[in-house]
């Protein structure tokens, strides 16, 4: 029983309550995993057969970690516990029972690529427009139907669903779903969603099978219950119906996967499903400082649809949360990169102690470029470096081909993307012809009529003419105008815009962000040549990213907030806190969706252990146009006592009017936004004027700096050195700036000009 000694009263109560329905409401950083594992170990120590225990998780990593912890308490018996993800556990059951459903015991499990490949073939066989019946959209639609337990037959009888499909011009979706299901069955295959769908069919259609597993799994535990969808909810409810020894663990405040079908009502209504439930609240946060916990509580308090709890921390008070305002997303990246460098040097941290969290993948571009510029190593967690993403590489391949038509890898990559009737057979003919005539692929493309025949000759010839037209455009236009022309006339923009899936929207945003970066490059005043070829030279080194080769490398982690769930870091930066970005524009018309965005912000804040930075930009490029940005409403909801502003707003007329409210008022009252010159942003009288660096600003040699000297900082303006401390190369200067007050800077990063 030694394992019980280290638990607080709430944790211990949850572990020892083994009979009947139990709900454990686990606040962020409250030791949830410890409670689950010790509760399972306690069941085994109380004489429960491990074969009678079912533990369901959402990730293999969580299941593996729990099993190892349980093993350390109960020994080898841990291997007999039924523990794993929903999909892995029910795939195991289906292997045993598959023949009842007409499947072989060794049925194939299709992954996402397999499913999409089959769907593409069916779309082609049905002579459907593959732009309208985009495979990602079709796959998402079928997946959603299965997760809501809608069979192909029910789908095709549901008038509301069919009417929606017809109104969207996709009246054949029902037939597509039916054909796809038939082809999977014929192949003896189930896709990922079938593992849950078919389990529900099995338990519903065969009472003897349901009875068997209800009596086998006398004790059920479900981790992250707030993330369950309807299909998962129903399986769990059926299995627990006899014994009702069901324990669910979760936090409604961290329910952030509605877009994947998760239903927060499952946890909110658990007490209605089981009136005799015992509720345990894990409210002590062991992860974060009091300052961070207080800030997180002030955020989530604004949600009406939630379980009541009072999360607290007995950790140190901690530093205030630093809020930075940048004039652009590029400057935001620069501020964060410099802050990481200073924090690391001043506090003796590692790069792996830092994480940068953003709402959308496209935001990583400005962060990556800023980190690279000052040599900070990083890796994209759970994603791909911006310039390594497929859609970015596709468009860049067109850029490469425009300036070097002999780039054969670029040519092969995009000759049939978007699709233009140049299939693999035609590409093979081009390669063979080039080999036979000892010439380059581009020469075959450029003179397709001489080397190819029929339809392929025309398609390849048109592709060559398109690339030649890009070459002509590039000679007389800026990088941005050329890039936009290529993006539009290749059909890439249209192809991605028509893909309305979550993945398609993300890819479209990434292309938009690439074009934003090119627009900023085109407007730089510090360079004379602004052609797309010069931009390509600029990013050539950025695309050769070797950071991921060593998974244990000391690197800053960059990730979306969704990817950060379950992780923690000593220092966290949450960026892009602007209306229409975070919260996202799509969430602003629904209270339910806005509350999920707020929960997402809560998750971001509670990833931080020691220090939290928040930032937003007052302007951001979108498709080549510079737009004024409104600070996120979430900044207003934070307890102001927890915040330290990295800028100085003018005196407020009301104590209830925060700095962000005032900036919002200014934003709303502005007639129009005037596009600024570099480093000059139009502001209103409510906010301090942006510092405009002196003409010819150039940082001085700071080794000669002395107390009392007047200096100029590129962003903070003019100030006076009031203290110097430390040894080279980590000398810290305390400077009093006229507009912003006192700041402490590391001289090796400060870029000061001695006045």
Binding site feature residues:
26-33
Q: Could you say which of 179, 228, 254, 512 is catalytic?
A: 254
Give the closest residue to 635 by CA, choosing from 585, 589, 581, 679. Answer: 581
Phi-psi region of 690 (alpha: psi -120 to 50; beta: other; left: phi over 0): beta
Measured distance CA(231)–CA(196) in Å, rounded: 7
Q: Could you say which of 191, 223, 369, 597 is catalytic?
A: 223
Phi-psi region of 726 (alpha: psi -120 to 50; beta: other; left: phi over 0): left
Positions of E strands within 166-272: 189-191, 219-222, 246-250
Measured distance CA(94)–CA(716) in Å, rounded: 64
Helix (H, G, I), strand (E, B) or coil at 24: strand
Positions of E strands within 265-348: 278-282, 321-326
- Tokens 């995993």 sit on residue: 33
Whether 221 and 38 have beta carbons less than 8 Å apart is answered as: no
Q: Could you say which of 39, 281, 607, 753 is catalytic?
A: 607
- Residue 148, both tokens: 């809501």
Measured distance CA(398)–CA(470) in Å, rounded: 9
* 512 carries an active-site annotation: no
Measured distance CA(354)–CA(569) in Å, rounded: 6
Helix (H, G, I), strand (E, B) or coil at 745: strand
* 618 carries an active-site annotation: no
Torsion of CA 334, 336, 339, 341, to 10 degrees: -70
Helix (H, G, I), strand (E, B) or coil at 710: strand
- Residue 429, both tokens: 């003919």
* 331 carries an active-site annotation: no
* Burial readout 723-738 (b: 16 or more C-beta within 10 A, e: otherwise): ebeeeeeebbbbbebe
* Residue 496: C-alpha distances to residues 422, 442, 479, 509, 710 (Å): 20, 27, 22, 9, 53
For residue 746, the surrounding DSSP H or E stretch is strand 741-746
Max CA distance (Å), the chain: 86
Sequence-ordered list of residues with C-beta below 8 angstroms from that of 316, at least 6 positions apart, any chain: 289, 290
- Residue 165, both tokens: 């499909």
- Residue 678, both tokens: 């570099």
Q: Could you say which of 11, 32, 490, 610 is catalytic?
A: 32
Measured distance CA(604)–CA(617) in Å, rounded: 18
Give the closest residue to 22 by CA, choosing from 282, 278, 281. Answer: 278
| Binding site residue list for ATP | 26-33
Rounded to 5 degrees, φ, ψ at 77 are: -60, -20
| Distance, C-alpha 451 to centroid of its chain | 47
Q: CB atoms < 10 A from the CB of 641, how many?
A: 10
* 223 carries an active-site annotation: yes
Helix (H, G, I), strand (E, B) or coil at 689: coil
* 33 carries an active-site annotation: yes
Measured distance CA(607)–CA(600) in Å, rounded: 11
- Residue 367, both tokens: 């962060």
- Tokens 């936004």 sit on residue: 673
- Residue 275, both tokens: 């009136």
Strand partners of residue 725 = 732
* Residue 304: C-alpha distances to residues 300, 301, 588 (Å): 9, 8, 16
* 595 carries an active-site annotation: no
Q: Could you say which of 97, 224, 338, 714 is catalytic?
A: 224
Whether 392 and 510 have beta carbons less than 8 Å apart is answered as: yes
Query: Which residues are part of the catalytic machinery?
Result: 32-33, 223-224, 254, 607
């Amino acid at each position: 029983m030694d394992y019980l000694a280290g638990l607080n009263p709430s944790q211990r109560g949850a572990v020892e309550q083994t009979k009947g329905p139990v709900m454990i409401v686990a606040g962020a950083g409250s030791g949830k995993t410890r409670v689950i594992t010790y509760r399972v170990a306690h069941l085994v120590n109380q004489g429960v057969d491990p074969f009678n225990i079912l533990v369901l998780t959402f990730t293999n990593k969580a299941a593996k970690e729990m099993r190892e912890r349980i093993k350390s308490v109960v020994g080898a018996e841990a291997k007999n516990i039924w523990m794993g993800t929903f999909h892995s556990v029910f795939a195991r059951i289906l292997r045993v029972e598959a023949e009842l459903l007409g499947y072989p015991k060794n049925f194939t499990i299709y992954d996402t690529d397999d499913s999409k490949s089959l769907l593409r073939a069916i779309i082609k066989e049905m002579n459907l427009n593959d732009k309208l019946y985009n495979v990602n959209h079709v796959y998402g639609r079928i997946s959603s139907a299965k997760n809501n337990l809608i069979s192909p037959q029910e789908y095709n009888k549901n008038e509301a669903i069919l009417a929606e499909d017809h109104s969207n011009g996709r009246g054949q979706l029902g037939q597509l779903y039916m054909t796809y299901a038939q082809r999977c069955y014929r192949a003896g295959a189930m896709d990922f969603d079938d593992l849950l769908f078919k389990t529900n069919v099995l338990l519903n259609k065969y009472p003897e099978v349901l009875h068997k597993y209800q009596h086998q799994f006398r004790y059920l535990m479900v981790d992250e219950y707030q993330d369950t969808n309807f299909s998962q909810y129903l399986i769990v409810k059926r299995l627990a119906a006899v014994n009702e020894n069901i324990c669910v663990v979760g936090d409604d405040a961290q329910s952030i996967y509605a877009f994947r079908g998760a239903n927060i009502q499952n946890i909110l209504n658990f007490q209605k499903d089981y009136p005799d439930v015992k509720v345990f609240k894990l409210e002590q946060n062991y992860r974060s400082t009091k300052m961070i916990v207080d800030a997180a509580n002030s955020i989530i308090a604004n949600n009406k649809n939630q379980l009541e709890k009072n999360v607290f921390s007995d950790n140190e008070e901690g530093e205030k949360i630093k809020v930075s305002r940048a004039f652009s997303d590029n400057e935001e990246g620069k501020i964060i990169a410099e802050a990481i460098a200073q924090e690391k040097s001043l506090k003796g941290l590692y790069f792996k102690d830092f994480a940068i969290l953003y709402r959308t993948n496209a935001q990583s571009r400005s962060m990556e470029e800023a980190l690279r510029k000052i040599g900070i190593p990083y890796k994209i967690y759970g994603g791909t470096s911006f310039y390594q993403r497929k859609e970015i590489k596709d468009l860049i391949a067109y850029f490469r081909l425009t300036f070097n038509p002999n780039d054969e890898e670029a040519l092969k990559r995009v000759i049939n993307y978007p699709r233009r009737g140049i299939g693999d057979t035609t590409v093979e003919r081009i390669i063979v012809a080039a080999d036979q005539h000892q010439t380059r692929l581009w020469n075959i493309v450029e003179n397709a009529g001489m080397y190819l025949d029929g339809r392929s000759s025309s398609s390849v010839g048109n592709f060559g003419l398109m690339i030649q037209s890009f070459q002509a455009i590039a000679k007389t236009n800026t990088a941005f105008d050329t890039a936009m022309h290529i993006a539009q006339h290749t059909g890439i923009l249209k192809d991605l815009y028509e893909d309305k899936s979550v993945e398609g929207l993300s890819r479209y945003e990434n292309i938009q962000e690439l074009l934003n970066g090119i627009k900023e490059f085109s407007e730089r005043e510090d360079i004379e040549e602004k052609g797309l070829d010069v931009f390509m030279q600029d990013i050539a080194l950025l695309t050769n990213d070797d950071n991921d080769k060593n998974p244990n490398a000391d690197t800053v982690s960059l990730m979306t907030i969704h990817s950060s769930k379950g992780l923690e870091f000593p220092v966290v930066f949450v960026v892009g806190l602007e209306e229409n970005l975070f919260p996202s524009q799509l969430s602003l018309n629904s209270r339910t969706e806005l509350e999920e965005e707020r929960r997402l912000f809560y998750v971001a804040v509670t990833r931080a252990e020691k220090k939290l930075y928040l930032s937003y930009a007052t302007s951001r490029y979108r498709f080549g146009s510079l737009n004024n940005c409104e600070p996120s409403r979430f900044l207003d909801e934070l307890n102001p006592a927890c915040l330290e502003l990295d800028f100085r707003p003018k005196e407020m007329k009301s104590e209830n009017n925060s700095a962000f409210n005032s900036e919002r008022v200014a934003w709303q009252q502005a007639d129009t936004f005037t596009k600024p010159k570099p480093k000059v942003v139009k502001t209103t009288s409510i906010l301090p004027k942006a510092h405009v660096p002196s003409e010819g600003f150039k940082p001085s040699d700071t080794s000669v700096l002395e107390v009392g000297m007047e200096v100029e900082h590129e962003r903070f303006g003019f100030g006076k050195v009031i203290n110097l401390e430390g040894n080279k190369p980590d000398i810290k200067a305390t400077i009093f700036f006229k507009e912003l007050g006192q700041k402490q800077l590391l001289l090796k990063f400060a870029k000061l000009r001695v006045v």
